[in-house]
Structure 1
Amino acid sequence: MQNDAPESAIEQDAADTASDLATETAKQASGAGEAVADKIDKPAQQASDQAVQLINDWQDISLLQIAGIAFAVWLAIAIVRRLLPFLAERGPSQLRLYLLAAVPIIRLLLMTLAVLWIIPIIFNVTFENFLVIAGGASVAIGFAFKDYVSSLIAGVVAVFERPYRPGDWVEINDDYGEVQSVGLRAIRLKTAADDIITVPHLVSWQGNISNSNDGAQTLMCIADFYLVPDHDASEVRGALRDVAMTSAYLEYDKPVLVVMSEKPWGTHYQVKAYPFDLRDQFVFITDLSVRGKEAIAELGATQVTSPYISSEKKSSQPVVTF
C-alpha cells in the first residue's frame, strides 16, 4: 500500500504535465493562426476600403487646378474653331478643306486630354472603382440620355470614318448645304438659301447621306435642257460642250460631258462639268443654263418644259415654250 501511493502521485504529475503541454501547444497554434489571418485580412481590408472610396478626400482635390485645366482647354478649342476657319477662307483653296477638317479632330483630342487629366484629380482610380463607375454610368445614361449619347457616339465615329467633314456639300433628309462645323452631337449645314440647319449625328446611323465632293476641291454640276425631238443632236451636243468649255468658272483639269436621253415627250440633255471652286457651283450652273439656252436658240431648236400632269389634266402633251 505504501508503494502504491508514490506511483499514483507520479502518474498524476505526468498527466498534469502532458495536459499543460497540450494546452500550451494549442494556444501557440491558435495564436499563429490568428497572426496569419491578420496578415491576410489586413491588406484585403485595406484594398476594400480603398475601393469603396470612389472620390478622393476634399483636401486632396484641387478645384483651382481643375478650373485651370477646363479654362485652358476651352480657350484652346475657341482659338482652333476661329483660327483654322479664318486661315481656310483666306489661304490657298487647296488647303481649305484640310484646315476645316482638322477642327473637330483637334477639339476631340483636347477634350479627351482634359477628361483624362481631371479624372485622377477627383476620383480614386482603381480597377474596382472603374467597374463601379462604368456600371452605374451605363445604367443612368441608358435610361436618361439614350438618344443624346447615341449622337455623341455617332459623332466620335464620324470623326474617324469621315462620312462628312467641314467644307463638304452634303444632302441629309432633303437638306443640301455645306458642312460648316462638325460638333460632338451634331453638324451645322449652311444651305444655298443661307439657312443654318443643325443635324444630329444619329441621323447618319438611320438614313443615307449624299456627299457631293467627299473632301475634294470641286464637285460635279449638272445643267439640264429639254428639247423637242426635231433637231440635229450632234450640233446641239457640240454647242453645249462649247458653252461649258468657255465658262469662266470651269475647272479645266476635269472632264466635260454632254449626255442625252430620249423621253416620250422629247430629248433630255445634261451638261456635266466641274467648277474651279465648289462654292461657285450655283453660279456655274446658272452660267451654263443661260448661255446654253442662247446656243440652243441660235441653232433653231425648241425647248420644252419637263412634263407635269396634274390630277385635273389628262393631256400627256408637254408644254412648248417659244
Structure 2
Amino acid sequence: MPESMDNDKLAELFRQLDASLALDLALVVIGAIALIISLQKTLPWLANRLHGKSRHLVLAMVPLLRLIVVIGAFLLAVPVLIEPSLQNMVAILGSLGLALGFALKDYASSLVAGIVAVGEAPYRNGDWVQIGDTYGEVRHIGMRAVNLVTPDDNLVSIPHLKLWSESIANANNGTPQLQCTVTVYLQPCHDGARMRELLFDVALTSPYLALAEPIAVVADEQPWGTRYRVRAYPIDARQQFRFATDLTLRAKAELLRQGFPLAAIEARPAPDAAAG
C-alpha cells in the first residue's frame, strides 16, 4: 500500500502530455541534436583550415559548447515534463539521481568525469596524450569517453572514468608545440663536442623544425657506450613522426659519412635455441 501511494505521488509530478507539449518536447530534442551535430562538424572543419594555437582553441570549444547545449536542452525539457515548482523539481531530480547512482554507477562516474574534463581540460581536441598504454591525438571528447587516434591509425575510446585512476601525460597541452626526442647510440671512443655540434646542425637544418623553439642535445654514458638525445620541436604537432624520422635518417647518414662508431649490441640466441 505505501509503495502504491509513493508511485501515485511520483506520477502526479509529471504533466499529462498533450499534442502541444509533445511538440514542444520534440522541438527541444531535435533542435539540440541538430545543433550538436552542426557544432561537431563545423568547428573541426574550421579548425583544420587554421594553424597553430588558433586550431587548438577552436577544437577545444567543441566539448564545451556541446555541454552547454545539453544543459540548455535539459533545462528547457524539464518544465515541459514536470510542473515547474521547487518541490516537484527537488523530488524528481533526487529520485532520478538515486536511480542513476545505483543502476549506472560507472557510467554516471564517467559522465561526471567528462564534465570535470571539460572544466579542468587535462586534454583537448588536437592534444597528443598518453593514457595508460595508449598514445594518440584527441579527436573527440564525448560526454562519456574521449576518442584517441593512435599513430597506427586506430581509434581508441577511453572512458573519462580513467581520470580518477590513471595519470594523463599531455605532450602539447593545447598548443602546437610538441617536443620530439630522437636517440642516437655511439661507441664511447669519439669526439663528444664534435658529435654534439653535428646533431645540433642536423636538427637545425630539418624542414620540419620550428625555428622559434629551442634545440637541445643531451648526452649520458651507458655501460655499452654513449647515448645522445636530440630534443626539438616540429612546426606542427601532427608532424612529429615525420620530424623524428627525418632527424634519425639524416643523423645516421651523417655519422656514417664522417666515420663515427655506432654502438651495437650483438644479438644473443634465445635460451631454448641455445639448448637445442
Structure 1 length normalisation: TM-score?
0.78
1:235 paired residue number: 194
Shift of the 132–259 alpha-carbon distance from structure 1 to 2, 3 Å rule, reads same
Q: Which stretch shows the higher mean deviation, 58-67 or 293-302?
A: 58-67
* CA distance in 2: counterparts of 1:124 and 1:61, whole angstroms: 15
Mapped pair 1:297 → 2:256: yes
Equivalent in the alignment of 2:173: 214
Structure 1 residues 305 and 209, CA, compared in 2 at 3 Å: closer, same or farther?
farther
| 3-state SS, counterpart of residue 245 of structure 2 | helix
Q: Displaced runs of 4+ in structure 1, greater than 6 A?
A: 49-52, 306-311
Please give the residue correspondences for 1:96-111 in structure 2 after superposition, counting only pairs within 5 Å.
Answer: 96-111=55-70
Q: Distance in 2 between matches of 1:58 and 1:79?
A: 29
Asked if the contact 1:61–1:122 (Cα under 8 Å) also holds between the matched residues in 2, the reply is no
Establish whether residue 139 from structure 1 lines up as the match of residue 98 from structure 2: yes
Gaps of at least 5 residues in structure 2 are 1-7
Is 1:155 aligned with 2:114? yes
What amino acid is the match of 1:236?
Answer: M
State the Cα deviation string for residues 153-199 of structure 1 (Å, max 9, x = none). Answer: 00001001000000000011111100001000001100111110000
Candidates 59, 62, 78, aligned match of 2:37:
78
Provide the rounded CA distance (Å) in 2 between the counterparts of 1:158 and 1:176.
18
Which AA in structure 1 matches 2:151? A
State the secondary structure of the residue aligned to 1:158.
Answer: helix
- Structure 1: gaps of 5 or more residues: 1-48, 314-322
Q: What one-letter code is carried by the residue in structure 2 that aligns with 1:292? A: A
Rounded to whole Å, the distance in 1 between the matches of 2:101 and 2:265 is: 51
Judge which range, 239-248 or 134-143, deviates more.
134-143
Which one has the largest radius of gyration? 1
Structure 1 residues 310, 130: closer, same or farther in 2, change over 3 A? farther
| Distance in structure 1 (CA, Å) of the matches to 2:176 and 2:265 | 32
Residue 185 of structure 1 is matched in structure 2 by: 144
* TM-score under structure 2 length normalisation: 0.90
Structure 2 residue aligned with 1:91: 50
Amino acid aligned to 1:149: A
The share of aligned pairs that are identical, in percent, is: 40
Relative contact order, CA 8 A, sep 6+: which one is greater? 2
**Residues of 2 paired with 1:306 and 1:95: CA distance?**
46
- Pick closer, same or farther for the CA change 1:166–1:309 going to 2, 3 Å: farther
Aligned residue for 2:231? 272
Q: Which amino acid aligns with 1:233?
A: G
Alignment-derived partner of residue 211 in structure 2: 252
Write out per-residue CA displacement over residues 250-285 of structure 1, whole angstroms, 9 at most, x where no aligned residue: 000000000000011110000000000110000000
Contact 2:13–2:82 (Cα < 8 Å) also in 1 = yes
Contact map agreement 2:53 2:175 (CA 8 A) in 1: no
The answer to whether the 8 Å contact 1:54/1:125 transfers is no
